[in-house]
Structure 1
Amino acid sequence: MNSVLLVCLLIVIIPTVFSKKFKEEEKPEWAKKDISDFNDADMERLLEQWEEDDDPLEPDELPEHLRPMPQLNLNDINPSDPEGILQASKKGRTLMTFVQVADNPTRDETEEITKLWQTSLWNNHIQAERYLVDDNRAIFLFKDGSQAWTAKDYLIEQEKCESITIESKVYKGKHSKDVKQEL
């Protein structure tokens, strides 16, 4: 019984000891250091080694500055429509828009109104993140910038929308005081 136990232990222990010995010899000098002694260069090499066998990321998973530019079909773009050209150039790029709520609302009212607008946009498959920047102002961040113009068409129709700003161009809401005075 004891001899069987001894043989089993040897079968488990001996390969482990030898494999550790051989693995230590295969490691580069920087990898033999204690992890607490690693400097920035050692950590960078470790990260590169870690990512070595990873599959490459899909283009939409890459950071925006590494993504390939979207292919623009110039035949589909109307040269007399600068807004259409701008919209096509923002396809697949992050874009921020500023939305101003009318009638001097409180911060809580702005929160509720813009949350409702964001939900409506999401329900129409327009993904926008929303950030309040003032009591009556919010940023809508679009991961696909071309969606900002579709969102603009929706937002300017809303009764509480004073204006929306896209790429430094201000679009007045149809119910804003400025538009009513022009009529």
Structure 2
Amino acid sequence: MERLLDQWEEDEEPLEEDELPEHLRPMPKLDMNNLDPNNPEGLLQATKKGRTLMTFVQVSGNPARDETEEITKLWQTGLWNSHIQAERYLVDDNRAIFLFKDGSQAWTAKEYLVEQERCESVTIESKVYHGKHSAKYKEEL
């Protein structure tokens, strides 16, 4: 069966870089001269350019699943209106995953999300950013 597949693909032209599955695409080229070594988030954002990235978002209070659905849907619409494409999946009654095809957009989305009144926290690459209206954010000040 494998040989049949090899014969089938033998005369095929190779795929363009952007048509390859993500795990076969080359890593983006980083110009270290343009990156600020004192800004680790900027470096991380640059390395996630063109890569899929999941961000966890927690809604404050004790919302029902339907309420979380509505709130996160509004947030997703706000992101789309800012030309940030994110797919949204509920994982718990008060948590959702926002999936970015271009991972570098996650930090721009985080800036929007933490400003929202019902945002408890946003987690990107295991780093938690508390919403500006959350009790933990106010404790940090």
TM-score, structure 2 normalization: 0.92
Deviation of 1:58 after TM superposition, in Å, equals 2.0
Q: How does 1:112-123 map to 2 (within 5 A)?
A: 112-123=70-81
Distance in 1 of aligned mates of 2:11 and 2:75: 44
Q: 46, 50, 53: which is aligned to 2:11?
A: 53
Q: Which has the higher contact order (CA 8 A, sep 6+)?
A: 2
Q: How does 1:31-46 map to 2 (within 5 A)?
A: 43-46=1-4
2:69 corresponding residue in structure 1: 111
1:77 corresponding residue in structure 2: 35
2:102 corresponding residue in structure 1: 144
**Structure 2 SS opposite 1:115:** helix
1:15 corresponding residue in structure 2: none
Distance in 2 of aligned mates of 1:55 and 1:116: 43
1:99 corresponding residue in structure 2: 57
Distance in 2 of aligned mates of 1:74 and 1:64: 23
CA deviations on 1:5-45 (whole Å, 9 max, x unpaired) are xxxxxxxxxxxxxxxxxxxxxxxxxxxxxxxxxxxxxx222
CA deviations on 1:83-117 (whole Å, 9 max, x unpaired) are 11111111111111110001111101111111111
Q: Percent of pairs identical after alignment? A: 80
Letter in 1 for 2:102: D
Distance in 1 of aligned mates of 2:122 and 2:66: 19
Moved more, 100-109 or 53-62: 53-62
Mark the structure with the bigger radius of gyration: 1
How many residues are paired up? Answer: 141
Distance in 2 of aligned mates of 1:82 and 1:181: 24
Deviation of 1:182 after TM superposition, in Å, equals 5.0
Deviation of 1:138 after TM superposition, in Å, equals 0.6
Distance in 1 of aligned mates of 2:48 and 2:5: 33
Q: 84, 97, 121: which is aligned to 1:126?
A: 84
Deviation of 1:135 after TM superposition, in Å, equals 0.2
Q: 135, 138, 141: which is aligned to 1:177?
A: 135
TM-score, structure 1 normalization: 0.72
1:29 corresponding residue in structure 2: none
Distance in 1 of aligned mates of 2:140 and 2:112: 21
Letter in 1 for 2:76: Q
Is residue 89 from structure 1 mapped to residue 47 from structure 2 by the alignment?
yes
Report runs of 4+ in structure 1 exceeding 3 Å deviation.
Answer: 180-183
Distance in 1 of aligned mates of 2:62 and 2:37: 39
